[in-house]
């Protein structure tokens, strides 16, 4: 990776706060709205692996998750997760932050990001 990338939704309040924080701390980044630019399966699988599994990447507290059927929620393998996220991209926690050193994280907490970026 050549750049810090923030993946999320343009109108998500947490993503807006995260981007504002990056701007205020003069951290160069690219923002990708994953509803407009879906993330490919290889990248999603990589994120899940780096985060410790699909449970760390998927937001089970979301309205989208609660609206799924029990059968949809019973996914157990990579292919199932990828199909579910392809159909419902808002299931991915946000924002997803990737940095040039290969680290991946989800969510935004100013103190955590300050430590991560040395700010």
Domain ranges of the chain: 5-117
pLDDT tens column, 45-100: 999 999 999 999 999 999 999 999 999 999 999 999 999 999 999 999 999 999 99
Instruction: Give the domain 5-117 fold.
Output: Glutaredoxin (3.40.30)
Is the separation of the CB atoms in 98 and 7 below 8 Å? Answer: yes
Q: Which residues are catalytic?
A: 12
Q: Is 1's pLDDT higher than 60?
A: no
pLDDT tens column, 85-114: 999 999 999 999 999 999 999 999 999 999
pLDDT tens column, 18-42: 999 999 999 999 999 998 999 999 9
pLDDT at 119: 87
In the chain, DSSP finds a helix count (H) and a strand count (E) of 7, 4
Measured distance CA(104)–CA(2) in Å, rounded? 14
pLDDT at 65: 96
Question: What are the E-state strand segments in the chain?
Answer: 5-8, 30-33, 96-98, 104-106
| Band of residue 2 on the pLDDT scale cut at 50, 70, 90 | very low
98 in helix, strand or coil? strand
């Amino acid at each position: 990776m050549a750049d810090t990338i923030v993946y999320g939704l343009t109108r998500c309040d947490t993503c807006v706060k995260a981007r504002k924080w990056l701007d205020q701390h003069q951290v160069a980044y690219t923002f990708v709205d994953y509803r407009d630019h879906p993330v490919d399966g290889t990248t999603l699988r990589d994120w899940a692996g780096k985060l410790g599994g699909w449970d760390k990447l998927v937001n089970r507290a979301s309205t989208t998750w609660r609206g799924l059927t029990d059968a949809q929620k019973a996914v157990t393998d990579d292919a199932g997760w990828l199909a579910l996220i392809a159909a419902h991209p808002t299931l991915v926690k946000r924002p997803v932050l990737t940095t040039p050193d290969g680290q991946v994280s989800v969510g935004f907490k100013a103190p955590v990001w300050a430590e991560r970026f040395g700010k």
